[in-house]
A and B are shown apart, each in its own frame.
Chain A
Amino acid sequence: MAVYTFKEAKAAPSTSRGVLFWLRENLFSDIKNSVLTLLGIYIVYIMIPPLLDWMIFDATWSGTQKEIVNSGARWIFIIEKFDQFMYGFYPVAEHWRPNLVGLISIAFLLSLKFIPNIKVKLGLMLIYPFVCFVLISGGWFGLEEVPTEKWGGLMLTILVAAVGIIASFPIGIVLALGRQSEMPILKTLCVGFIEFIRGVPLITILFMASVVLPLFFSDGIDFDKLLRALIGITLFQSAYIAEVIRGGLQAIPKGQYEAAESLGLGYWQGMLLIILPQALKISIPNLVGSFISLFKDTTLVLIIGLFDVLAMVTLTTSDALWLGYEIEGYVFVTMIYWVCCFSMSQYSKSVERKYHTEH
C-alpha cells in the first residue's frame, strides 16, 4: 500500500505580504502613484521638521524675556500671559471661582449620568445655572462682585458657548415642533423665524443685538453688552438646533406617531414620552456638530467688543512689555480651539458608531 506523505506547504509568495508588499501596493503601484508618493513625502519633509523645530526643539520655555536667544517659539510669553488667556481681566484673587464652576460643571454632568431619579435631576438642572451665575458674577453671600466687562479669555468663550447651547436647546425643540405642526399660523411663524436667522450671517445678528436691541426696550431696562451678545447667539443657535431636531423628527417612522395616538396619549404626552426621546437620540451626532460650529462661532463676539480668548491675542501683544508676540498667541489659541473641536468631533463619531446598530 502506497504511503502518501504530505508535501511541505510552500510559503506564500514573498511579494504578497510584508513591508515590501505593503509599500508596493499602497505607495508605488504605478508611475502616477509613485510620483504622488514622492510629492507627499516632500510636502511632509518641508512642513514637519521646521514646524517641530519651531514649536519644540528651538523653543524657549522659561527664563525672562531678555534671555530669549533661540529662533523658535517663545512660549514664555504664553506662560507669562496664561492667566489672561484663561480669565481675561477677572481679578486674580477670585480665579478660584471660575475654577470651582468648572469642577461643579463636571460634577453636574456626571451626576446627570448616574442619578436615576428624574426629579432630583430636574432639581439639579434648575439649581446649576443659578449656582454658576452667583459664583462667577458675585454680589451675593459676601462674594465680591465682578462686572461682566472683566470677564474674558477662555472662560468667556466657554461661557458664551455653554449658555448658547443650553438656552437654545428648549427654544430649538419648540421651534422644531412648531415647524412640524399642522397649525398653519404657528408653522408660518416658526418657518419664518428659522429661515430668517439661517439666511443671515451671525455677525449681522450680533450687530442687531448690540445696536438695535437696546432701541426695542424702554429706558429703564438696561442691557449689559455680554447679555446682548448672549441673546443674539441664543437666537442664532436655536434656529440651527431646530433644523437638527426637525431632521430627527422626520426620521421617526409614522407608525410611532400612530402608536402613541392609539395608546390614547395626547400630543404632549406622545411627544415627550415616545417621539422626542427617539428623535433626540438620532440627532445627537448632528447636535454635537452644531455645538462645534457654535464653539467656533463664539470668536465673533470679539467683533462687537467682547474679550474672548481670540481677542486676548491682540490685547496681550499690545502690552508695551510684550510687543510682537502675535505668532505665539495665535498658535496657542489655535491649539486650544483645535483640541476642543477635534475631541468633540471624535466624540460625535463614537456616538454615531455606538448607535449604528441597524445593519
Chain B
Amino acid sequence: MNKSQLPPATTGGLLSSPRNRAIIFQCLALLAVVACAFYFTSNMFDNIEKRGITTGFSFLGETAGFGVSQSLIAYDDTTSTFLDVFIVGILNTLLVGVIGIICASVFGLLIGIGRLSSNFIVAKLSLVYIETFRNIPILLQILFWYNIVLAALPGPRQSFSYFESIFLNNRGLLLPEPIFQSGSIFILIAFVIACTAVIFLTRWAKKRHDQTGEEFPLIKVSLAILIVSPLLAYFVTGQPITAEYPALKGFNFQGGLAIIPEFLALTFALSIYTATYIAEAVRAGIEAVASGQKEAAESLGLKKHVILRKVVLPQALRVIIPPVINQYLNLVKNSSLATAIGYPEIVTLFSGTTLNQVGQAIEIIMMTMAVYLTFSIVISLLLNWVNAKMEIKGR
C-alpha cells in the first residue's frame, strides 16, 4: 500500500485515519524501546559504579598472562595482550570454520548423491546416516568424540602410526611440517601464473565453444597446468620445500605439526553434523530439476555425464547453494560450542578466560557478538550476490 492510496488524514477524529494511527503507534513503540533502553543503561551504570567495574576498552592493551594451546600467530604468555587473545580467537574460529566447511561440503555432497543412488544399500545407508546424526544435538556429539573416542586413543608411546610420519594418539594428531626454504617463493609465483593462464584458457574455450560449438577438455587441461607448473618450479629451484617429521622423544613427540585433540573432535563433529543438512539440500536440489529436463537431454542423445554437467547441475545448484551457504554460517556459529571442550576459539578465549580475568562483561560479550555478526553479514552479502547471479534471466 503506498501513501497515495491512504485516505486523507483529516477525516473524522484523530484516531480514525490509518495514517495517523500508524504514526501514533510507531511513536509509542519507539517510546517504549527508548524507555526500556534508558532504564537498562541507567541501571547498568549504577551497577557498574556500585561494583567498581572498570569500563572501556583499555583492557585490550594489558598483558593477558595465560597460555593458549593453539595459535596461528606468534603468541607469548608473558608479553601478549588481550587484543592478541582476541585475534587468536578469531583466527582459530576461522580455522575450524574453513576446514569444517570443506570437510562438510565434500561429505555432504557424497551422502546427498548416495541418497539418490539407484543402489539400494547405498541409498539406505545414506538415509540412516542422515537420520542418525541430524537428530542428535551437536554439543552431545562434540562431547562424545572428545570424551569417549579421543580419550580412548593410546598414549604417545603406543600411538597409531601411518607411514612412520603421521601419528595419532590421545594428545592429538601429528603430521610432518613443511619447511619453506629460500626459493620456495618461485613455486608460489609459478602457481599464480598457472592460475592466470587457466583463467585466460577458460575465456578462450568459452569463446571457441560459442563460435564453433567444439568442446575443449577444459577441466583436464586446467588441472594439468595447475599441477605441472608448480611441480616444475619445485624441481627447477632445487626442491626448496622439505618436511620436519615428528619424532618420539622421551614421553612425547617433538617437531612436526601437532593438531590438538580439541580441534580434531570439534571439526569432526561439526563436519559430520553439518554434512547431514548439506546432503539433504543436495538431494532436494537434484530432485527439484524437472524430470522432463533430463528426458529431453536424453532424447537429444547426450551422454550421461554431459547431462549431469550441462543440464542437471546448473539447475540444481540454483536450489542447492542458498541453503548450503546458510549451513556454512550455522557451522561457524556452532563452533562456539568449543567452549565445552576448551578449544581456544573466540568464545572460549574471550567470553570465557578473558571475561573471568577482566570482568568487563558488557564490552567482552559485545565484542564476541560483533565478530559473529560480521561473519553473518559477510555470508548474507555473499548469499545475495550468489542469488542475483543465479537468478533465472527472463528475456
Nearest A residue to B32, CB-CB: A189
The answer, yes or no, to whether A253 is at the interface (CB within 8 Å) is: no
Verify A183–B351 contact, CB threshold 8 A: no
CA of A303 to CA of B39 in the docked complex: distance in angstroms? 29
Verify B337–A300 contact, CB threshold 8 A: yes
Verify A27–B119 contact, CB threshold 8 A: yes
Chain A residues lying within 8 Å of B369, measured Cβ to Cβ, are: 200, 204, 208
Verify A216–B43 contact, CB threshold 8 A: yes
Chain A residues lying within 8 Å of B376, measured Cβ to Cβ, are: 195, 198-200
Chain B residues lying within 8 Å of A211, measured Cβ to Cβ, are: 355, 361, 365
Verify A40–B339 contact, CB threshold 8 A: no
Verify B29–A338 contact, CB threshold 8 A: no
Given known contacts A201-B336, A204-B369, A218-B46, is B140 in contact with A337 (CB within 8 Å)?
A: yes
Chain B residues lying within 8 Å of A26, measured Cβ to Cβ, are: 118-120
CA of A41 to CA of B120 in the docked complex: distance in angstroms? 11
Verify A310–B373 contact, CB threshold 8 A: no
The answer, yes or no, to whether B180 is at the interface (CB within 8 Å) is: no
Verify A310–B121 contact, CB threshold 8 A: no
Nearest A residue to B332, CB-CB: A201
- Of B64-72, B131-139, B228-236, B283-291, the stretch lying at the interface with chain A is B131-139
Verify A203–B347 contact, CB threshold 8 A: yes
Given known contacts A310-B143, A326-B148, is B121 in contact with A36 (CB within 8 Å)?
A: yes
Cβ contacts A183-205/B at 8 Å (1 or 0 each): 11110010000011011111110
Contact of B44 among A29, A215, A338 (CB under 8 A): A215
CB within 8 Å of A: which of B1-57? 1, 22, 25-26, 29-30, 33, 39-40, 43-44, 46-48, 50
Verify A201–B334 contact, CB threshold 8 A: yes
The answer, yes or no, to whether A347 is at the interface (CB within 8 Å) is: no
The answer, yes or no, to whether B122 is at the interface (CB within 8 Å) is: yes
Nearest A residue to B335, CB-CB: A201
Contact of A183 among B22, B46, B122 (CB under 8 A): B22
CB within 8 Å of A: which of B334-382? 334, 336-337, 339-340, 347, 351, 355, 361-362, 365, 368-369, 372-373, 375-377
The answer, yes or no, to whether B144 is at the interface (CB within 8 Å) is: yes
**Most chain B CB atoms below 10 A, which of A297, A303, A337:** A303
Verify B365–A330 contact, CB threshold 8 A: no
Given known contacts A40-B125, A185-B29, A218-B46, is B361 in contact with A212 (CB within 8 Å)?
A: yes
For chain B, give the interface size range: 35 or more
Verify A200–B135 contact, CB threshold 8 A: no
CA of A171 to CA of B158 in the docked complex: distance in angstroms? 56
Nearest A residue to B124, CB-CB: A40
Distance in angstroms from B364 CB to nearest chain A CB is 9
Chain B residues lying within 8 Å of A43, measured Cβ to Cβ, are: 125
Chain B residues lying within 8 Å of A278, measured Cβ to Cβ, are: none
Chain B residues lying within 8 Å of A201, measured Cβ to Cβ, are: 333-334, 336-337, 347, 372
Verify A296–B25 contact, CB threshold 8 A: no
Verify B22–A334 contact, CB threshold 8 A: no
Verify B132–A182 contact, CB threshold 8 A: no
The answer, yes or no, to whether A1 is at the interface (CB within 8 Å) is: no
Given known contacts A185-B29, A334-B136, is B122 in contact with A36 (CB within 8 Å)?
A: yes
Contact of B135 among A36, A182, A310, A341 (CB under 8 A): A341
CA of A148 to CA of B377 in the docked complex: distance in angstroms? 38
Given known contacts A40-B122, A303-B339, is B368 in contact with A338 (CB within 8 Å)?
A: no
Contact of B120 among A27, A204, A215 (CB under 8 A): A27
Verify A36–B25 contact, CB threshold 8 A: no
CB within 8 Å of B: which of A187-246? 189, 195-196, 198-204, 207-208, 211-212, 214-219
Nearest B residue to A221, CB-CB: B43
CA of A203 to CA of B371 in the docked complex: distance in angstroms? 14
Cβ contacts A284-328/B at 8 Å (1 or 0 each): 000000001000110110110000001001000000000000110
Distance in angstroms from B280 CB to nearest chain A CB is 11
Verify A342–B143 contact, CB threshold 8 A: no
The answer, yes or no, to whether B387 is at the interface (CB within 8 Å) is: no
Distance in angstroms from B373 CB to nearest chain A CB is 4
CB within 8 Å of A: which of B137-154? 137-140, 143-144, 147-148
Given known contacts A185-B26, A215-B47, is B1 in contact with A199 (CB within 8 Å)?
A: no
CA of A208 to CA of B339 in the docked complex: distance in angstroms? 15
The answer, yes or no, to whether A33 is at the interface (CB within 8 Å) is: yes
Chain A residues lying within 8 Å of B43, measured Cβ to Cβ, are: 215-218
The answer, yes or no, to whether B79 is at the interface (CB within 8 Å) is: no
Chain B residues lying within 8 Å of A214, measured Cβ to Cβ, are: 47
The answer, yes or no, to whether A333 is at the interface (CB within 8 Å) is: yes
Contact of A337 among B119, B122, B135 (CB under 8 A): B135
The answer, yes or no, to whether A348 is at the interface (CB within 8 Å) is: no
Nearest A residue to B27, CB-CB: A185
CA of A334 to CA of B26 in the docked complex: distance in angstroms? 47
Chain B residues lying within 8 Å of A218, measured Cβ to Cβ, are: 43, 46-47
Verify A33–B340 contact, CB threshold 8 A: no
Cβ contacts A19-41/B at 8 Å (1 or 0 each): 00000001101000100110011
Distance in angstroms from A46 CB to nearest chain B CB is 12
Distance in angstroms from A228 CB to nearest chain B CB is 13
Verify B40–A216 contact, CB threshold 8 A: yes
Given known contacts A199-B373, A303-B339, A338-B132, is B29 in contact with A189 (CB within 8 Å)?
A: yes
CA of A218 to CA of B42 in the docked complex: distance in angstroms? 9
Nearest B residue to A216, CB-CB: B40
Contact of B365 among A204, A292, A326, A342 (CB under 8 A): A204
Verify B136–A200 contact, CB threshold 8 A: no
Nearest B residue to A267, CB-CB: B18
Distance in angstroms from A244 CB to nearest chain B CB is 14
The answer, yes or no, to whether B293 is at the interface (CB within 8 Å) is: no
Distance in angstroms from B276 CB to nearest chain A CB is 12
The answer, yes or no, to whether B242 is at the interface (CB within 8 Å) is: no
Contact of B333 among A29, A200, A219 (CB under 8 A): A200
Distance in angstroms from A57 CB to nearest chain B CB is 21
CA of A212 to CA of B369 in the docked complex: distance in angstroms? 13
CA of A204 to CA of B351 in the docked complex: distance in angstroms? 8
Nearest B residue to A346, CB-CB: B131
The answer, yes or no, to whether B117 is at the interface (CB within 8 Å) is: yes
Verify A40–B121 contact, CB threshold 8 A: yes
The answer, yes or no, to whether A345 is at the interface (CB within 8 Å) is: yes
Distance in angstroms from B124 CB to nearest chain A CB is 8
Instruction: Kindly list the 10 A-B residue pairs having the minimum CB-CB distance in the complex, ordered from nearest.
Output: A199-B376, A40-B121, A341-B135, A296-B137, A201-B336, A201-B333, A26-B120, A211-B361, A216-B40, A185-B26
Q: Given A189-B30, A217-B43, A299-B137, list of 17 further CB < 8 A pairs?
A: A27-B120, A40-B121, A40-B125, A183-B25, A200-B333, A200-B376, A201-B334, A201-B372, A204-B365, A207-B368, A212-B362, A215-B48, A292-B135, A297-B137, A299-B139, A310-B140, A338-B136
Q: Mind listing 6 A-B residue pairs with CB under 8 Å?
A: A26-B120, A33-B118, A184-B26, A204-B336, A296-B137, A326-B148
